[in-house]
Structure 1
Amino acid sequence: MVAVIATTLVQATFAQEHNGHDANTSVLASYYSLKNALVAGDATLASAKSLELVKSIESTDNKIIGDKDKAELLKHSTMVSKTTDIKAQREDFAPLSTAMITLAKSGKLSADPIYVQYCPMKKSSWLSSEKPVKNPYYGSAMLTCGKISETIN
């Protein structure tokens, strides 16, 4: 009987941790997809990827992303999703990235390193899964403008 109870508790705990990690990974993966659409200069794709990010954030438990952080992320990702003006999307991406950076620093979003990259022209940062800089604020006009300012492990 004790073994059955212990097994059930361990499985439930593992499921909660696993689901939390999946939710975090989903939010980060959706953010990366949005960033890549902005790098490519594809406003229609950026709008669609931002909507995916909104859904990922909304489906994440409030224990994983707190109410305040969730509200901030939803505010900016929704703004990106509501327009197909690439300049406006890139403007809204800056505060979204600031909120994502805060979230990445406060919790484990990925088993892989997360690179905080900085654009001195825009004076804004973003997250990347790769070391090579691909600037979402200027796309092909200044694709490699920026540097890694921090690595989150």
Structure 2
Amino acid sequence: MKLLFLSIILAFSIVTANAQQINSVDKLTASYIGVKDALVGSNAELTKSRSKELLGTLTAFPVKTLQPKQQKTYAAYLEKLKYDSRHISETTVIDHQREHFQSLSKNMFALLSGLNMTSAPLYQQYCPMKKAYWLSESKDIRNPYYGEDMLECGKVTATLKVAAK
């Protein structure tokens, strides 16, 4: 009976830890999407604010809840993501924000691919005019590099599928 009870507690702990990890990845993804959406609207002040939120989410991420391989992946991209988030959050020059968003998007895609913990599909999209990628929660193209000027310029190039539970 004790063994059964301990097994149930262990299983519950594992499920709870997995849910916490996915929740943290979802929060990170939502913060990134907030930056992207602000750039789509060409709103430099909102982009600055959302980038500060992303920086905070990156810093507060519960890395120790990840598996060792995932921790290594997170560590490999953390400083790069923080660097670009910080630069975006320190300016209201939209072209400079978009320049750093290009690198931010590349590294965010690599991080989320390596963690393999998304609870909803994400779409990597590509702007042929800028020769740059970004992530979106929708297949609809809303180009953050040109905003209203070329809102629908781009295509879906890859999909990050929902993590297996």
Report the 3-state secondary structure (helix = DSSP H, G, I; strand = E; otherwise coil) of the residue aligned with 1:101.
helix
Q: What does residue 152 of structure 1 align with?
A: 160
Q: What does residue 113 of structure 1 align with?
A: 121
Does the aligned pair in 2 maintain the 1:24–1:109 contact within 8 Å? yes
Identity %: 33
Separation in structure 2 between the aligned mates of residue 54 and residue 3 of structure 1, nearest angstrom:
43
1:80-95 pair list within 5 angstroms = 80-95=88-103
Q: What's the RMSD between the two structures over aligned residues?
A: 1.4
Residue-by-residue CA offset, 1:105-138 (whole Å, 9 max, x unaligned): 2222423221110001111000001111110011
Does the aligned pair in 1 maintain the 2:36–2:144 contact within 8 Å? yes
Q: What does residue 11 of structure 2 align with?
A: 10
CA gap of 1:42–1:109, structure 2 versus 1, over 3 A, is farther
TM-score (norm 1): 0.93
Report the 3-state secondary structure (helix = DSSP H, G, I; strand = E; otherwise coil) of the residue aligned with 1:125.
strand
User: Which consecutive unaligned segments of at least 5 residues does structure 2 have?
Assistant: none
Does the aligned pair in 2 maintain the 1:26–1:56 contact within 8 Å? yes
Separation in structure 1 between the aligned mates of residue 135 and residue 117 of structure 2, nearest angstrom:
11
Does the aligned pair in 2 maintain the 1:28–1:109 contact within 8 Å? no
TM-score (norm 2): 0.87
Does the aligned pair in 2 maintain the 1:24–1:108 contact within 8 Å? no
Tell me, yes or no, if structure 1 residue 26 matches structure 2 residue 65: no
* Corresponding residue to 1:123 among 131, 135, 138: 131
Separation in structure 2 between the aligned mates of residue 106 and residue 73 of structure 1, nearest angstrom:
14
User: Which consecutive unaligned segments of at least 5 residues does structure 1 have?
Assistant: none
Corresponding pairs, count: 153
Residue-by-residue CA offset, 1:67-121 (whole Å, 9 max, x unaligned): 1211111111111111111111111100000001111222224232211100011
Report the 3-state secondary structure (helix = DSSP H, G, I; strand = E; otherwise coil) of the residue aligned with 1:126.
strand
